[in-house]
Structure 1
Amino acid sequence: VPGTELCTHCNNTNVTFQYSLYAITYIVVFIPGLLANSTALWVLCRFISKKNKAIIFMINLAVADLAHVLSLPLRIYYYINHHWPFPRFLCLLCFYLKYLNMYASICFLTCISLQRCFFLLKPFRARNWKRRYDMAISAAIWIVVGTACLPFPIVRSAVLANKSQDTCFADLGYTQMNVAPSVAMITSAELAGFVIPVVIIAWCTWKTVISLQHARVACEGEAEKRKALRMVFMCAGVFFICFTPYHINFLFYTLVKEKVITSCPIIHSTHYFHPFSLCLASLCCCLDPVLYYFTTSEFRDQLSLRQARFSDNVSFCSAHRS
């Protein structure tokens, strides 16, 4: 039957390159991501003033990135060896952490942009802002995002009985859902995970640029204005580079998996672009620490101080050896 051959041809999309792409990307991300986020978390927790703006959100962002980075060795092993010898729950945990990192990062980047913009526009109200507010918001984000990301591994784990126990990640099956749950998942992920945050970040960026030229914020000082602008711009940059491609493709990818889209060109292009969008999303683990360094003067000062002390210790030890 011609229609059956067309359907089979469309479903057998060749994306074998994804194994090499994932392995190379995760190897490149792992070492810099581990070192940068570990150092960032240590500096943010110990050396930056507790009153520094967005400090709580930055710490949570570093934790989200570090959780994903620590799961990368297992992903690297699988994509190199095409074999999963570890317990099945580890596969699903790593799969879950990928999406937890993505959506937690989106939320915390949005909070950083919104708070920085708010502090710039309302400097007097910002003085009454308490750290416990940021802690409560962060706890709420972890609970909501952690719960909302559960369907991702559940949809893939429901077909494990029909899959080899040696498979994981990209080779996991996909459970087709009814129309209503599928539409609900797509709508929730796209609206809450992308559309609303992108609108907020775009608004914060626009308001910050406009406000820097307004007389109301003249008292803030040029240095404070530049720091606010850098932080908002870098949050927007990380968001658009890492998460926009995935969410554009996510809509088509889900509709293809649910067999709503049957056009072969769209099916092929969606499957082809999917690995690239996931790899771009993982780059946030390396880009987020750049945000801390270039937007937080205390971070640079404390990091430079630690480097200077380390150099002094090395010089002292060398002098004593000689």
Structure 2
Amino acid sequence: MNISNSTTEDEQVYAGVFGCVMVIGLPLNAVALWILLRRHSLKSPHAVFMVNLAFSDLLLIISLPMRIYFHATGTWPLSNMACLIITMLFRDNIRSSAMFITFISVDRLLAVVYPLRSRHLRTSSNAWKGAAFVWSFMLVVNIPESLDFLEHLQDHSQLIYLQIVLLVTMLAVNIVCTIMVSWTLHRHLSDSAKVNNKMKVMLVFVMNLVLFAMFLPVPIGMAAQYKKIKPLVCLTVSNCCLDPLLYYFSFDSFWRKNENCR
């Protein structure tokens, strides 16, 4: 009886966590997406990646009501296909968010370390090509993963190991970008105004690394068949509430229209 009560209480906690993430994350990301589309030119590659990141978070958030219902009631009223879609939205958010964040880090690296030589690379056209690649990759990965999920109705798949490799690789790229940008800014910025700008730039990279720390626990836990995976899922889902901070620190003036935000 005590085990049953404890399990029920845990499920209620999970429902509460997902509810808080939805209540906080939905308006934050919706407003951020509106501001990015309305006030910042999509000619900026940086803005293109931000818009796609916000869209990825919103796709995850719209799946949370059914997760909340499941944990609150202990029943699943929909089909296995609906369960599959919600599961894929969660996994795709980890992968797509990690890829868009990596693109953002590389874009900032090119802008700070190689501002002149990278101008032909840092175009909105190339940014949209990168975004198209990310979403195409999601579709390709979802096909075998969905078939495996429907066949076994479990979370374990060989693709989990591929996801871990991809996440660790992208984390390494973000760390390298952070080190190179920090070294460049340290060499060339000295006065107080520029130091303040340096702090804003470095906050973007710090946020990126924090978000990666939230992405990795779930696939690692799944690969290790860790039984208490749900707390890790709660941690990962909460990244939707932190991404808007990334948008704020990424632009000199997030709220003011800026047509040349490069």
Of 83, 91, 109, 2:83 maps to 91
The SS at the match of 1:73 is: helix
- Is 1:132 aligned to residue 125 of structure 2? yes
- Residue 223 of structure 2: which of 251, 258, 264 is its match? 251
Q: Which has the higher contact order (CA 8 A, sep 6+)?
A: 2
* Rounded Cα–Cα distance in structure 2 between residues aligned with 1:90 and 1:203: 39
8 Å CA contact 2:155–2:222 kept in 1: the answer is no
Partners in 2 of 1:175 and 1:81 — Cα distance? Answer: 21
Instruction: Describe how 1:214-229 pairs up with structure 2 within 5 A.
Output: 214-215=187-188, 221-222=194-195, 224-229=197-202
Q: Which moved more, 1:51-60 or 1:28-37?
A: 51-60
Give the deviation of 1:153 after TM superposition.
3.7
Please tell me whether the aligned partners of residues 110 and 200 of structure 1 are also in contact (alpha carbons under 8 angstroms).
Answer: yes
- TM-score norm. by structure 2 comes to 0.86
Which amino acid is 1:248 matched to?
I
2:229 aligned with 1:279? no
User: What is the distance in 1 between the residues matched to 2:169 and 2:206?
Assistant: 17
| 1:232-251 to 2 correspondences below 5 Å | 232-240=205-213, 242-251=214-223
C-alpha distance after superposition, 1:266-285 (max 9, x if no partner): xxxx212x111111110111
Once the two structures are TM-superposed, the CA of residue 42 in structure 1 deviates from its matched residue by 0.6
Quote the residue 1:21 is aligned against. Answer: 13
- In the alignment, is residue 196 of structure 1 matched against residue 151 of structure 2? no
* Larger Cα-atom Rg: 1
Contact 1:15 1:271 in 2 (8 A): no
Q: Distance in 2 between matches of 1:233 and 1:104?
A: 19
Of 76, 81, 85 in structure 1, the residue corresponding to residue 73 of structure 2 is 81
> How far apart, in 2, do the equivalents of 1:243 and 1:77 lie?
24
TM-score (norm 1): 0.71
Partner Cα separation in structure 1 for residue 100 and residue 7 of structure 2? 33
* C-alpha spacing 1:19/1:225, structure 2 compared with 1 (3 Å): same
Post-superposition offset of 1:224: 4.7
2:107 to 115, 118, 124: 115
Corresponding residue number in structure 1 for 2:41: 49
Percent identical across equivalent pairs? Answer: 28
- Return the letter of the residue paired with 2:15: A
Report how many residues are paired.
250
Q: CA deviation at 1:115?
A: 1.1
Residue 174 of structure 1 pairs with residue 163 of structure 2: no
Shift of 1:19: 2.1
Q: Does 1:141 align with 2:97?
A: no
Q: 2:244 aligns with which of 248, 266, 289?
A: 289
**Worse-superposed segment, 32-41 or 206-215:** 206-215
Does the 8 A contact of 1:117 with 1:208 survive in 2?
Answer: yes
Other structure's SS at 1:85 match: coil
Residue equivalent to 1:206: 179
Q: How far apart in 2 are the matches of 1:18 and 1:197?
A: 33
User: Relative to 1, partners in 2 of residues 1:52 and 1:244: Cα closer, same or farther, differing over 3 Å?
Assistant: same
How far apart, CA to CA, are the structure 2 residues paired with 1:103 and 1:175? 16
In structure 2, the CA distance between the partners of 1:237 and 1:63, relative to structure 1 (3 Å rule), is same
Give the counterpart letter for 2:28 in structure 1.
Answer: A
Q: 1:91 to 1:187 in 2, by over 3 A?
A: closer
Residue 3 of structure 2: aligned partner = none
> For structure 2, which runs of at least 5 residues remain unmatched after alignment?
1-5, 258-262
Q: Give 1:232 deviation, angstroms.
A: 1.4
CA distance in structure 2 between the partners assigned to 1:146 and 1:139 by the alignment: 11
Q: 1:110 to 1:155 in 2, by over 3 A?
A: same
Secondary structure of the 1:290 match is: helix
Q: Distance in 1 between matches of 2:104 and 2:194?
A: 20
